[in-house]
Amino acid sequence: MKTINLVILFSGNGSNMQNIVETLRNKVFFNNLDLENKDEIEIAFPFCITNNPNAYGISRCKELGIECKVLSHKDFSGREEFDRALLKLIAGTQVELVILSGFMRVLSPIFTSNLKSINIHPSLLPKYKGIKAIQESYQSDDNHGGVSVHWVNDVLDGGEIILQDCIPKISGESLEGFQKRIHHLEYKLYPKAILKALNLTQSNTHG
């Protein structure tokens, strides 16, 4: 069985990270683009990385049995120096794709030109880029909110879209309620987008 290694980067709670691991680990996949070759493929998570030594996601990694490497951006003089160290940390492993999951750093071309990366954002891009996306979407006149998964480049939330999905707004709903539904949509969409980015299909869909 072929193994595809993914590394997840996070900065905080790590709930999306945990959901991705639990959804994709210990499953069997096939390559969509290689129809003649039905070799089985598994997805592995050799380690995760956080830039926050106090991130709750570190505890989640421990519970999942995954090593978590801590690389604090505060130990570096600037963004590019941090990105070089981040790249070096990953480069020794055969990693097919880097998954940004609540990773609160804008990566420079030093990183993005060397490793394929994807990110999730809680709006229907190109609307509402940046860290206040959910609040801005909630306060807007739009009749729906949504989630986007996109390729990462050196422009904030600016890479090519892989998948998007939306939820209808509910009259009178609180920001907290809207935010909860957005996060639930993230949990559903991100694993699907990862498989699309890797051109994989889960084996049990091949009835």
What is the rounded CA–CA span in Å between residue 202 and residue 71? 33
Of the candidates 73, 121, 183, 206, the residue annotated as catalytic is 121
Active site residue 121: yes
Parallel, antiparallel or unpaired: strands 144-151 and 161-168? antiparallel
Spatial CA neighbour of 119 closest among 72, 157, 83, 70 = 157
Report residue 84 as tokens.
Answer: 């070089």
CA distances from 109 to 6, 9, 61, 119 (A): 20, 17, 28, 15
Helix residue ranges, H only, 5-154: 15-24, 57-64, 79-91, 109-112, 133-139
Which residues, in sequence order, are bridge partners of residue 10?
A: 50
Q: Residue 71: how many CB atoms within 10 A of its CB? A: 17
Q: Which residues are catalytic?
A: 121
